Structure 1
Amino acid sequence: MLETLKAIAKEAGEVIMTMYERRDYKTSEKHDDSPVTTADIIASELIEDRLKQHFPHIPVLSEESDHENYNERRKWSSYFLIDPIDGTQEFIARSGDFAVNIAYVSNNEPEMGVIFWPVGEAIYYAEKGRGAYKEDAVERQKISVRQLQNPESDPLIIAISRRQAREPVLSRMQTQRDIQPLPTGSCSLKSCFIAEGKADCFLRLGPTGEWDTAASQVIVSEAGGRIVNENFEPITYNRTVSLLNPNFLVLGDQNVPWEEVFIARRPRFR
């Protein structure tokens, strides 16, 4: 299954790149005012079609397709969760920092994750219990989060958005240690950079969907990191009517005292 998912992600990425290079796409807004392009739609249709060909009995849930009613979804023991272009704003802005995300979720837990970065010609992937890997034009290598020599005091590299203000993120950091920003694009690429040791952490504030984290969660976890909500609790999948994520953290080296680095948002009780 994993090899098939990799091949599908690459095929979708090639179609996306053709439209990207030719500027052969149209842009509109969804009901939540977020942008969507014809490239998102075409890639989503391609991925869904290929998945149904290879795995006809497994449901598919895409950001860009109609979402099944929760009364139906809650019956699924497994399903594919996809984001055909994670980083649509980056695609439109032509930064190159966008990716194809495909995850296989079983019993409400991501089991396989594939993230293809078309512009970087690199694919990241993982299967639960089998490690995380990166393949590019040169090599295939096992990846892992950066291990700090002194987890309590070494400078931290934080992956941070090019499109959003930095202050809300940096204001949630309560550490006195040196913080080095690494500007980049989509959520999934930030997560992959943490998984391969280019960055140490990432805080996402604002709306995202479960398709934004599912593939990343497998890759980051298998690389030695974790993805949690802002209360340092696990992210859940297909357990509620809403498919929206809470604010979340992607954390590398688990020897870092992360709860001393980021200010948690604990629920308030009256």
Structure 2
Amino acid sequence: MATSLSMLGFATDLPAQQGPEPIPGAETFGPRWQPAGTAQFDLGPAEGRFRILVSLPDQPPPEEGYGIIYALDAGWTFGTLRDAVRMRASPYAHSGARPTVVVGIGWPTDTLIDFDRRGPDLVGQGTEGPGRAATLELIETVLIPRVETALPVDPAHRMILGHSFGGAFALQARAERPGLFSHIAAGSPSIWTDAEALFAAAGPGGAPVLITIGGLETPERAAATGAPADRIARLIERDMFGRAERMAADLGADFVVFDDVGHGASVTAFLARAVAFLWAAE
């Protein structure tokens, strides 16, 4: 039987999120649209609240339960993932994917992104917010029980997903909470933020891992495209490509390079590949 948003105990009559000032004349096109089957609520302590978005599949849950993706940086990942899982699990897609819930983890801002808290909350860099360990604790002990008490979920298809800082967070979650997630997806992970600890914890076995990287995240390729000197210097210092490749080898992970895109532009390809990875060989 299909599960409604109201059955989950999530507010469905919340006002539409306020975005940037509208383009002059845009109001002539009509009212703001919100995706159907999507709810939002805030979670966490007053000094460090997160905004959670939940997208339910159109289809009723299969016997095994829904697949589920917990996605960091909801402002950059939630919408694309929502569309990707619906398209891939469509009965017309013949992809083998089953209906999948997407849980976006963001911050209570107009964009769902908070640059002051993002570093501390995901990789422990900075001083704002409760910190990376507290974020993982909240996901494990509060968010997952709230969502999965209300929804039939298949724990064999429970993914944690993140890009950049979020990718490093996903790798840390694998190391610190083995068995909590069935699949790990890390796009262009910022391993440089805690390379020693991440590599010390790396090893084959455990949850399958997907690591992706943009082809232009090597200093040589970036320089060939005319990237500014400060960008090239950061790529050299952080060794984004080299560390991602080494981490994939250490973990026995799937390693995918998206040619001709850099760090930010690789996000959409990463998200689509992550959905396929969750349902590979199904």
Settle same-fold status: TM greater than 0.5.
no
- Structure with a larger share of its residues in strand: 1
TM-score (normalised: structure 1):
0.27
